[in-house]
Structure 1
Amino acid sequence: MEKSEQNLYEIFGEVIAEQDFLKAFLITSALAFLLYFSAPQIVRMMGREDLLNALRVTLSALGAFLGFIVSTVIIEPKRVVEEE
């Protein structure tokens, strides 16, 4: 898709294409949910059932962080630099 055909939106001062935003959202959400739902298996392997809630929160935050990193690597910036 050409740049003129893309719908560009400004979010927190950054310009992002609609498709790229959707990709980043799906990647981040998928990794956060994957790690959230894998917490019970990890707790069972550790033998510490009392840590389930804390580990779910921690792993989902880690998944969101990893999703952000993966999205930054995959999606190229749309910045337009104009020199005077």
Structure 2
Amino acid sequence: MKINNVTMNNVNNLYKLKCNRANSNERQKNENDSIQISSAGKNISRFFKEEIVIPDDKKVMEIKALVESGNYKVSSEELAKKLVASFGNKGI
């Protein structure tokens, strides 16, 4: 196979053109992309971290301690009510 200078120059020029387009697209993305979180968004995030996660962790720790000590009691009546309610919501 014979490769002459004209063909190599064309390939090289096409490669440079493609690289330049990719670089300019990347620059445009970097220049245009930005994010700002409002103070309300920060407050909501803080609420979820402090108010929802921590109480769940406390409840899990309390139940875990009760189970380990053998003092955790499950009301069969409450369990049945929750099961019926759960199945009722799913249409079963």
Same fold (TM over 0.5): no
TM-score range relative to shorter protein:
0.3 to 0.5
Higher helix share: 2
The normalised TM-score by structure 1 is 0.33
Which structure has the bigger radius of gyration? 2
Larger RCO: 1 or 2 (CA < 8 Å, sep 6+):
1
